[in-house]
Amino acid sequence: MTALDLSSPVAVVGTGTMGQGIAQVALVAGHPVRLYDAAPGRARAAADAIVARLDRLVEKERLTGADRDAARDRLVPADALGDLADCALVVEAVLERLDVKQELFRELEGIVGEDCLLATNTSSLSVTAIGGALANPGRFVGLHFFNPAPLLPLVEVVSGFATDVTSATRAYETARAWGKTPVACADTPGFIVNRIARPFYAEAFAVYEAQGADPATIDAVLRECGGFRMGAFELTDLIGQDVNESVTHSVWESFFQDVRFTPSLAQRRLVESGRLGRKTGRGWYDYADGAGAAERPEPHTAEPGRTPAYVVAEGDLGPASELLALIREAGIQVREEDEDHGTRLVLPSGGQLALADGQTSVEFRDVVYFDLALDYRRATRIALSASQDTSPGTLAEATGLFQALGKDVSVIGDVPGMIVARTVARIVDLAHDAVAKGVATEEDIDTAMRLGVNYPLGPFEWSRRLGRNWAYALLDDLHLRDPSGRYAPSLALYRHAYASDKRQGGSS
């Protein structure tokens, strides 16, 4: 099954931001496009707005004047749904209400031809439930574009329970012909991106609620250590706290209140107070000037510590092994001791420095934990975690060590799994679980998370880099300390880790 022919008319119903964006994508690709909106005059106003954006593309030399003129001639506002009768594809981008969408598609089904593909751009509702209102749900599919649709490449092509393979394939190939990067997924709450991205927000909020660190520090660690483009607090301020919480709540409810997707009480209070982020002038941060730049506090950065003369490396530090080379380059002696399972540095004070593993500092005699980094060489900030019983000398040496490597240091509370490590582990777990349940392939999940939310690595890229057992071991330790089920590793992740051990000669 191939993409729709460019001579085939495409209709977009709903002319808000997403509707206009989808229409522009189809238009620039070469299709005749019909715009319809139930509110009188909106379709024509939307057409004018799209043409204005095309004019700006010409000014920026991203579109020729001739192509702009041809696209303008192919764009037609529709006065009634009946004007869409000859369309080969109708994409809906109306109010996120199941009854509204079902009624629209029931009406469309009586207007368009039998071979017309019907699609919804819903981000939170069940594609199966919307299509369930149709006499022929086999031709119904989800086409979830990301905002702004003309700029962001990802499109989730969602097959409902009754969607025909031919319909899904045609939708997939059409999105690709439009210059997008489609990924195929089953109809599951949140699809790929909104399902697997939940821990990015949830774990940041959980650290804050546990008084482990303030928003500015957590955001800085996610950016400067984890390699994420934005921190969770600044990103939800950009998205809108109400919008982000609504998606989280929808996924949680759709999974029958699965504890892994539990919404944040702190975010709920923020929404209740009307502090919705940039659009209201205040969210986690203050945007008093209204221009989008927050008057935010600085992240916690430790005062200069004491640079140790040497460290003793027990083992290769696992995912943090590149630190050994950085320490030597900083002129600090590294004495190595062979340890089968060692992942710690012993400091001159006798205290130890260990990569976050899901345990807490208070459990051990004198241990400081450091967080996972995307790239320890390029990271500009490292988080350390210590308990009230940690020796001040050990903490000072740990701080000084990373400062000697050119890093800012943020000391947070005794939070198991810290910030980046627990976030990445949970994302990896949800990704493995999604593959095991037939939601999408590993490749499509990695593509979706990199393009849909700009993650520095896809979950399976992280998993391969960190080792097959890393995420399972960290979450298993976290689950022992928080037996609510939130951190219980999925069966899929357990199988993944166990298969690795078995191949290496391990036993149960």
Q: Which residues are catalytic?
A: 123, 144, 156, 194
Terminal Cα distance for the chain, rounded: 47
By C-alpha distance, which of 348, 351, 345 is closest to 309? Answer: 348
Structure tokens at 239: 């998205």
Going by their DSSP bridges, the two strands 117-120 and 75-77 should be labelled as: unpaired
Cα-only R_g, the chain: 26
Greatest C-alpha distance within the chain: 80
Phi first, then psi: give them for residue 58, nearest 5 degrees. Answer: -65, -45
For 222-357, list the strands marked E by DSSP. 310-314, 333-337, 344-346, 352-355
- DSSP letter assigned to residue 212: S
Type of residue found at 239: I
For 356-486, list the strands marked E by DSSP. 367-370, 381-385, 408-412
Judge residue 364's burial from the number of C-beta atoms within 10 Å of its C-beta, 0-12 exposed, 13-18 middle, 19 or more buried: middle
Judge residue 452's burial from the number of C-beta atoms within 10 Å of its C-beta, 0-12 exposed, 13-18 middle, 19 or more buried: buried
Lookup result for tokens 């994302």 = 427
Lookup result for tokens 């005062």 = 303
* Beta bridge partner(s), residue 140: 118
Question: Treating both helix axes as pointing N-terminal to C-terminal, what angle do 17-29 and 65-74 enclose, rounded to 10 degrees?
Answer: 120
Handedness of CA 173, 175, 179, 184 (dihedral sign): negative
- C-alpha 202/C-alpha 166 separation (Å) is 37
For 320-468, list the strands marked E by DSSP. 333-337, 344-346, 352-355, 367-370, 381-385, 408-412
Q: Is 141 helix (H, G, I), strand (E, B) or coil?
A: strand
- DSSP letter assigned to residue 234: H
